[in-house]
Chains A and B, each alone.
Chain A
Amino acid sequence: MNQRTNNGSFLKTLDYQVLFIYLFLVIWGWLSIYSASYDYESSRLLDLAQFSGKQFLWIGISLVVGVLLLVIDSRWYYNTAEIIYILVMALLMATIVLATDVKGSRSWLVFGPVSLQPAEFAKFATALALAKYIDKHGFRPKESKRDYLTYFIIFLPVLLILLQQETGSALVYFSLFFVLYREGMSPKLLLAGCCAAAYFVISIRYGSTQLWGVTELGTFLVLLLILAITLLMFHLNNPKEKQSLGLVLGGNLLPLSVAVLCNVAGWHINLCWPLLATMALSLGYLGWLVFKKNLREVGQTILFAVLSVAFLFAVGFIFDHVLKPHQQVRTQVFLGVVDDPTNAGYNVNQAKISIGSGGLAGKGFLNGTQTKLKYVPEQHTDFIFCTIGEEWGFVGSALLLLVYLYLMIRLILMAERQRSRFVRVYGYCVVCIFFFHVLINVGMVLGIMPVIGIPLPFFSYGGSSLLSFTILLFIFLKLDAERLRYH
């Protein structure tokens, strides 16, 4: 392919849908920041002393950078991927030493009036490096011993960002396992990882809630979840064993219902014990099936259930007996169980009220009363979704979620249409990073997810995050626009 066809040709193949969605989100985000920090006395949209004015500046910078990224020869991204990765990692290390302490986090580099968070820029660097490595060496799930460098690429920024005390940003990289899954990683590993995370969060999140004074809600919910997944696995592996499935299901739920009724009637027993007993019996029955009917896959299912229960009780044991009290509190604060000094729990509660008060159509732009700095300190950054919920109501917040959904679907379809594995892997990285941010941020504001402070892409106030998401997306736009060049 020669240079002549390269010049300007990307304009014809550029994905304008994504570009349009990007502009839509950025502008809506900007207006929301304006509204979130709105004040009668200083109501100018472009005032540089206000968050909205600063954000406008960052939008301008991001657009310029975006255009530059579109103009650069796309081969450059492939060729310099490792160099960019190494440079950014070096910057992350330097940050640990150089950064000033901002609310306990050492992740901000201050250059005069501008503060940057290098951790944000590690996202696209890691995505590029991961894409190139997998493209070059492939991802061979059957010989996983040789994939250690793949994991290293993912875990190095995690480690460096954890050292900066930015737990939220570090967790983002775990979303890249979805990329590996797409490239061939065993679904069992993915399932195990998701389950472990879910068990951990649920058991501690609801660990201090008691049903009828005796049943620990966290443990009970996780046991139900284990039962559900186990039965689902059994069903998927042995679709014909409907009778056995029904037997196991009934054998668990009937005694459980009786136990619940006992509690309602006033005889308080810990629901976990009857459930555990019936689950043990069920596993015994499934084990018998292995021998009797020679159902090979059932062995794995039993193993899964046993390991899950063991994991659950290990988490409980470690939390209660190994962690020191202050570590317990820190974990609980992280998961939003207890209020920390900055009142994370209070914020979530405020967030729920403000969103709930939005109703169907919201109170109208600039008319929110809850979603102001006075009530939720992180209103313009991590809790920006509240402003949407309150001022634009269900219509606005549902629209925003659907726009994100459309963007992610669009990006997946774009990734799948690539002929180059490099571009496809990169595209998936972009999707997964966006997905994780939306999942955690919106989930946190809605009170479903733990309180982890990470921004809503293109929406939250903050130059570093906006610029880094722009870079992440526009590199993919450019690579996609020239998809025909690669094979």
Chain B
Amino acid sequence: MALDKNYERRSTTLLIIIALTVLVYLIRLVHLQLLSDEYDKYADSNAQFRKVIYPERGLIYDRNGRVMVYNSAFYDLMVTTREMKGLDTLDFCRTLNISREYFDKRMADMRNRRLNPGFSTYTPQLFMSQLSVEQYGPLQEKLFSFPGFSIQKRSLRSYTRPVAAHALGYVAEVNRRDIEQDSYYASGDYSGRSGIEKMYEQQLRGEKGYEIYLRDVHGRIKRPYNEGRRDLPPVSGKDLTLSLDLDLQEYAEQLMVNKRGAIVALEPKTGEILAYVSAPTYDPNLLVGNQRAVNYRELEASPYKVFLNRPIQSFYPPGSTFKPLQALVLQQEKIITSRTEYACHNGYAFAGMKLGCHSHRSPLDLPSAIATSCNAYFAAAYRAMIDDRKYASSQAALDVWRGHVASFGYGARLGVDMAFEQSGMIPSSEFYNRVYGNRAWKGSTIISNAIGQGEILATPLQIANFCATICNRGWYYTPHIVKQIEGETLDEKYTTRHQVTVDPAYFEPIVQGMRASVTESIGTSRGVAIPGIEVCGKTGTAENKGVDHSIFMCFAPKDDPQICMLVFIENGGFGATWAVPMASLLLEKYLKGGIADNRKWMETRLLNANLMEVEPENQ
């Protein structure tokens, strides 16, 4: 370990290298901090202001390319609290015409991290949204004298016609949870809350961009940073084309004024929704702008459940509209044929009880039973199936039956492209075992199912979809309201054909029966008839503690259906009174483009009808 003096001089080399490095860095610091033109300009105006540029939300068109939803500009007032030094609060409040208390409250709320999790003293925070014209004008002129404040342009949804509120849904400011779940959102952003706006939020919202500006010590924006080379332009949202027919939609909503219920019209061949009404409805413009919260509370307080999206969220026993489905399943299971006849003497007696029916000739074959909606026919046939010895048990028979029914989309969510769909209910053997005890039930116990009452529950959309399946003689596409997305293909689930478990041949007697229901004197749907169009229909009644709900499903023309429809009117009584004529007018409107003069009286009668007063709370 002798001392090694040979290379001692080399320590000087290292010293020089280190000293030179520090020297170079010091020179660089002098250049950056003291001399540089580029950075000297930033010496007291360094703060970059990253101004978010909001993309245009995607437009929404109807099936004929007419604009339904577009955007119009409005202005938000933002504040960066750290730069507020020297604000003349009095002058500021006077300019905006707000009180000092309001100003203080807004400032306190903004700093409250529970209300505003994204708060930062360095970034612009929302002070007031959607300035009125009276506020914007004077403020714009004096903005330079209010340090820290800036104006942010945004766009609001606007509607060409005040229709389809439930289908479209609405857009609202994001809340704390939205921000936590999706880092795209910042405080003050908007996102779709319901309907299509929520379902297609990703496509509609686009991509935010930004522009970078330099600002001086007073927070005033001076000029674009680096000549805008680091800016990022926003990407507009994608436009949507809906399957709705704007005229039909508007007409349906007009007819439903002062009524409660739902209308769903489908194009059977595609599963596209042509009209989608939930009544009572509201003007979508009410949920736009800074009056949104007030209007929302008012609408929500209504006893008529305005925000209930009836076509997919309400469910009822489908009543007699379920009989065609029974007929299909019973044929498929070889319990009946189209020529099977059952007798009916004002009802069906069983186990010491009687299921009532109205007066009609007896016995009836299948098409006639559908045309007159004979309860006895379906009760007898259904019981024959559930108690048939060819199945291991009534339980096994019920589950076979249930399998067929489920293939039509009943008992589960269809998967329509709207948020919050309900599934309805088709009971299983397990369900009845729970209710009545294991195997302690048989056909007569659950006889109400035969006529669509009892434990069966369906949404209006499911019934409309069933009608479409009849039109197609055995298949359907999942109903959907968005027909086309700009630059994207539709989700595969809307282009996949669902085949039901009943053979197409068994559909003919059903179609015959539904046609006879319109044409024959014994039919219940005569009121839907339109001269020159072969309309088919089936009425139904959902039993209710008060006045019954009336249901009507129909399609036209018989052999090449262009449209099928479900009209549901709460407390509408017997179907023929309100639901049938309403469907007739809508079919005429869609297929012929207008209402014939000799049918105007029907239109007038329906437009003037008011069924709102009947037991609104009863549902």
A interface list, Cβ under 8 A from B: 39-41, 135, 178, 181-184, 187, 346, 349-350, 352-360, 369-370, 372, 374-375, 389-390, 393-394, 397-398, 401-402, 404-405, 408-409, 412, 415-416, 419-422, 428, 431, 435, 438-439, 442-443, 446, 448, 487
Contact = CB atoms under 8 A, between A and B. Distances in A.
Contacts of A420: 1
Contact of B29 (A182, A398, A415): A398
Contacts of B36: 356
A360 B33 contact: yes
**7 tightest CB-CB pairs across the interface, nearest first?**
A356-B39, A357-B46, A394-B33, A405-B22, A356-B32, A446-B28, A369-B47
Contact of B26 (A356, A360, A401, A415): A401
A393 B10 contact: no
Contact of B28 (A435, A438, A448): A448
Interface in B30-62: 30, 32-34, 36, 38-40, 42-44, 46-48
B122 A369 contact: yes
Contact of B46 (A356, A402, A405): A356
11 contacts: A40-B121, A41-B119, A355-B39, A356-B46, A357-B43, A359-B44, A394-B33, A409-B15, A409-B18, A419-B3, A448-B25
A356 B38 contact: yes
Interface in B91-128: 111, 113, 119-123
B14 A359 contact: no
Given A354-B46, A356-B38, A404-B22, 11 more contacts: A39-B121, A356-B42, A356-B43, A359-B34, A369-B47, A370-B47, A421-B1, A421-B3, A439-B21, A446-B25, A446-B28
B598 interface: no
A405 B306 CA distance: 75
Contacts of A402: 22
Contacts of B42: 353, 356-357
Contact of A443 (B10, B11, B25, B33): B25
B491 interface: no
B33 A356 contact: yes
B39 A357 contact: yes
A401 B28 CA distance: 12
Interface string B378-419: 000000000000000000000000000000000000000000
Contacts of B122: 369, 372, 374
Given A182-B14, A357-B39, A374-B123, A442 B25 contact: yes
Contacts of A346: 230
Contacts of B609: none
Contacts of B119: 41
Interface of B is mostly: helix
B6 A389 contact: no
A402 B26 CA distance: 9
Contacts of B32: 352, 355-356, 389, 446
Contacts of A360: 33-34
Interface residues of B, number: 44
B7 interface: yes
B82 interface: yes
A178 B14 contact: yes
Contacts of A408: 18
Q: Counting chain A CB atoms within 10 Å of each CB, which of B6, B10, B40, B82 scores highest?
A: B10
B327 to A, nearest CB: 61
B425 to A, nearest CB: 47
A370 B26 CA distance: 21
A419 B1 CA distance: 9
Q: Counting chain B CB atoms within 10 Å of each CB, which of A39, A41, A350, A357 scores highest?
A: A357
Contacts of A372: 122
A30 to B, nearest CB: 22
Contacts of A135: 1
A389 B33 contact: yes
Given A182-B11, A182-B14, A409-B18, A389 B29 contact: yes
B505 interface: no
B4 interface: yes
Contacts of B120: 39, 374
Contacts of B21: 435, 438-439
B73 interface: no
B324 to A, nearest CB: 58
A398 B28 CA distance: 10
Contacts of A350: 48
A446 B123 contact: no
Given A346-B230, A359-B34, A352 B1 contact: no
Q: Counting chain B CB atoms within 10 Å of each CB, which of A39, A353, A390 scores highest?
A: A353
Contacts of B40: 356
Contacts of B533: none
B8 interface: yes
A431 B14 contact: yes
A106 B101 CA distance: 54
A487 B22 CA distance: 34
B19 interface: yes
A486 B17 CA distance: 29
Contacts of B15: 409, 412
Contacts of B7: 182-184
Contacts of A178: 14, 17
B123 A370 contact: no
Contacts of A421: 1, 3-4
Contacts of A352: 32, 39
B39 A412 contact: no
Nearest to A418: B3
A416 B36 CA distance: 40
B18 to A, nearest CB: 5
A142 B122 CA distance: 62
A473 B93 CA distance: 60
Nearest to B8: A416
Contacts of A405: 18-19, 22
A442 to B, nearest CB: 6
A178 B29 CA distance: 26
Contacts of B121: 39-40
Contacts of B44: 357, 359
Contact of A184 (B6, B29, B38): B6
Contacts of A428: 14
B29 A359 contact: no
Contact of B18 (A182, A184, A187, A435): A435
B293 to A, nearest CB: 27
Q: Counting chain A CB atoms within 10 Å of each CB, which of B7, B113, B230 scores highest?
A: B7
Contacts of B111: 41
Nearest to A346: B230
A212 to B, nearest CB: 21
Contacts of A187: 10, 13
Given A404-B22, A439-B21, A370 B48 contact: yes
B18 A393 contact: no
Contacts of A39: 120-121
Contacts of A401: 22, 25-26, 29
B34 A394 contact: yes
A415 B8 CA distance: 11
A58 to B, nearest CB: 27
Nearest to B24: A448
Contacts of A374: 120, 122-123
Contact of B33 (A40, A397, A442, A487): A397
A178 B123 CA distance: 47
B214 to A, nearest CB: 9
A359 B29 CA distance: 10
B47 A416 contact: no
Nearest to A375: B48
Contacts of A358: 33
A32 B327 CA distance: 81
B11 A359 contact: no
B29 A355 contact: yes
Nearest to A369: B47
Nearest to A135: B1
B34 A397 contact: no
B124 to A, nearest CB: 12
